[in-house]
Amino acid sequence: MRTKKQIRISEIVIPKYLPVFNNKTYKHIILTSGRAGTKSSFAAIRTDYQIIADPHGSAVVLRKHHNKLRKTVYKEMIRGINRLQVPKNRFYITKSPMEITYKKYSTTIYFSGSDGIDDTKGIIDEDKPIKLVVLDELTEFFDDGEGEDELANIEATFVRGNKAGFQMIYLYNPPKNPNAPVNLWCKKMEKRQDCIHIHTDYRDVPTEWLGQDLINSAEAMKKVDPKMYRWTWLGEPVGVDELIYYMFSDRHRKKPEEGRTYDIAYIGGDYGQQNATTYQAFGLDTYKRKFPGLGEYYHSGRESGTQRSPSEYAQDLIEFMDELHEEYAVKVFYVCLDPSAKGLQEEIRRATRTGLEYSVLIRDADNDVALGISRVQKSFAFDILSISPKQENLTRELGTYEYDKKSIEKGKEVPVKENDHGCDALRYAVMTAWRYIKRWLPAEIEEKEYIVDIARKEVRDDEYF
């Protein structure tokens, strides 16, 4: 009778993590990394091993929000069982409630969000006390929760009933800003004797585990944008440039491909009376996976000395779309407007009802500033987004759009509200087209963006593109 080969932990866990795999001297284990640092797979293997190896100890895996559990940590724990090569028929694996129980010992991995104080109350296991708590995407506990106080309450909840061996594992990718609350918390924790902080990146992982394509992607970014590479791939808190789109460079200034046509174009619109009103247009190239700038309309009442009414701006938009339709054969325009510009939106709706050779779909732009900036930055960093020479005012603004210095020092990045009309319009267009753009990102970053979309209820947690 053939026996199954016994897996060694060293075959599925990178060397940097091996010293803490069975080390119970540390109560707090902080794991940070850049992209593909394998911290999530380590945590899954360690958690699965907990309920298999210890007949008396269960585990709980927490994220800040319930609706992020099933597609992330729950899925990763099942992958961990496969990596350990333990047959799944030795477990009860359920989705409602979300639990994984090892049949032999009745030890369980529980999954929960931490949206409210009652979320974790029912998890305390009197027979098999919680020996391991895993907190995934720790930054969310600081951004959306109570930070250090919340972590202390979670520890107090689960440490009860444990005489020895209780541990907490914290996972996160460090934010850019060294002053971000989670980064400051980590520095504080590093001073404790019962805490260890391990940082990894893709260079700590065997190439055959990751694949050469991933290595090539990292090295390609290293050449064109070293700072973005250090944050994305190495996980370094590189600091926040005052210049928001510091990665915008000559490689992003491109004429649209001559003779190219676009079935769909997105126009981000930012409206002002005294301030500038601008329309920034981008084509959707699903074949080449690009979002090229096509042109802009820009009028400043203050600079020109001439005020225009919403109905005039609506007519200007139609002329602008006529030109784009003529040049690029656009069939459908998504017009994504400043959410506060209801009057202009109604004028555009009225003016585009009939008589056009193309369709116009009007959308309220998503005005989540921080998320929008992050998505524009990703679009530039991965060479999805480009700016046309015709977008002169947008190009000028991209070189001056900055964060407020004092906000950076406080760990929160707040843009200065000056010379930002084109940048706002660009952000509106990217946010509206994001359902396509996110598919063109590297796989791991795409999956993280998908989880953000679940949290914002942009997609259901049972759908994947």
Read off the pLDDT of residues 212-238 as tens digits, 9 standing for 90 and up: 988 988 888 888 788 889 999 999 998
237 inside domain: no
Please tell me what DSSP assigns to residue 67. G
Q: Give the pLDDT of residue 3.
A: 44
Q: How many Å separate Cα 328 from the centre of its chain?
A: 32
pLDDT, position 417: 86
Range of the domain at 408: 250-455
CATH value at residue 163: 3.40.50.300
Q: Which of 117, 119, 108 minimizes the C-alpha distance to 66?
A: 119
Residue 200: inside a domain: yes
Pairwise CA distance, residues 399 & 99, whole Å:
50
Which residues are paired to 209 by β-bridges?
none
pLDDT at 217: 86
Question: Is residue 462 scored above 50 in pLDDT?
Answer: no
Measured between alpha carbons, how far is 381 from 228 in angstroms, rounded to an integer? Answer: 7
Cβ neighbour number for residue 458 with a 10 Å cutoff: 13
d(CA 74, CA 328): 46
Same domain, residue pair 31 and 168: yes
pLDDT tens figures, 303-360: 766 888 999 999 999 999 999 999 999 999 999 998 888 999 999 999 998 889 999 9
Scanning the structure block, which residue is given the tokens 């029912």?
122
Q: Is 184 helix (H, G, I), strand (E, B) or coil?
A: helix
* Residue 401 in tokens: 């759009």
Angle at the Cα of 197 from the Cα atoms of 452 and 68, rounded to 5 degrees: 20
Model confidence at 125: pLDDT above 70: no
Task: Please count the structural domains in the chain.
Answer: 2
Q: Answer yes or no: is 174 within a domain.
A: yes
pLDDT at 126: 67
Q: Per-residue pLDDT for 459 more than 80?
A: no
Distance (Å, whole) CA 296 – CA 391: 5
Q: Domain for residue 226, yes or no?
A: no
Q: Which of 161, 185, 210 is the last residue of a domain?
A: 210
Residues 6+ apart with CB under 8 A from 374: none
Q: How many CB atoms lie within 10 A of CB 288?
A: 11
Asked if the model's pLDDT at residue 117 lies above 60, the reply is: no
pLDDT of residue 464: 38
Regarding whether 158 and 58 lie in a shared domain, the answer is yes
Q: Read off the DSSP letter of residue 246.
A: T
How do residues 407-417 score in pLDDT, each as one tens digit?
A: 888 888 889 88
pLDDT at 144 over 90: no
Model confidence pLDDT, tens digit, residues 88-112: 999 999 998 899 999 999 999 999 8
Strand order in the sheet with 28-33: 91-95, 98-102, 107-113, 58-63, 130-135, 167-172, 28-33, 195-200
Instruction: Annotate 58-68 with b (16+ C-beta within 10 A) or e (fewer).
Output: bbbbbbbbbbb
Q: By mean pLDDT, which of 29-38, 136-145, 159-168, 203-212 is the weakest?
A: 159-168
User: How far are the Cα atoms of 73, 117, 119, 156, 170 from residue 162, in angstroms, in the given order?
Assistant: 24, 21, 21, 11, 19
Does the pLDDT value for residue 379 go beyond 60? yes
Q: Please determine, for residue 378, whether its predicted confidence score (pLDDT) is greater than 60.
A: yes
- 216 in any annotated domain: no
- pLDDT for position 395: 93
- Residues 256, 130 share a domain: no
What pLDDT is attached to residue 447? 59
Going by pLDDT thresholds of 50, 70 and 90, the confidence category of residue 174 is: very high
Sheet bearing 291-300, strands edge to edge: 359-364, 332-337, 264-270, 276-283, 291-300, 385-386
The dihedral of CA 368, 370, 373, 377: what is its sign?
Answer: negative
Lowest mean pLDDT among 31-35, 232-236, 274-278, 453-457: 453-457
CATH of residue 308: 3.30.420.280
Residue 130 or residue 465, greater confidence: 130
In a domain, 3, yes or no: no
pTM of the model: 0.74
Does 377 map to a domain?
yes
Residue of 441, 430, 435 whose CA lies nearest to 382: 441
Check whether 448 has a pLDDT greater than 70.
Answer: no
At residue 159 the predicted structure's pLDDT band, cuts being 50, 70 and 90, is confident
Alpha-carbon dihedral angle through residues 173, 181, 415, 248, given to the nearest 10 degrees: -20
Tell me the sheet residues that pair with 132: 59, 167
Instruction: Please report which confidence band the pLDDT of residue 123 belongs to, taking 50, 70 and 90 as the band edges.
Output: low
Confidence of residue 119 (pLDDT cuts 50, 70, 90): low
The mean predicted confidence, pLDDT, of the chain is: 88
Structure tokens at 332: 């459908």
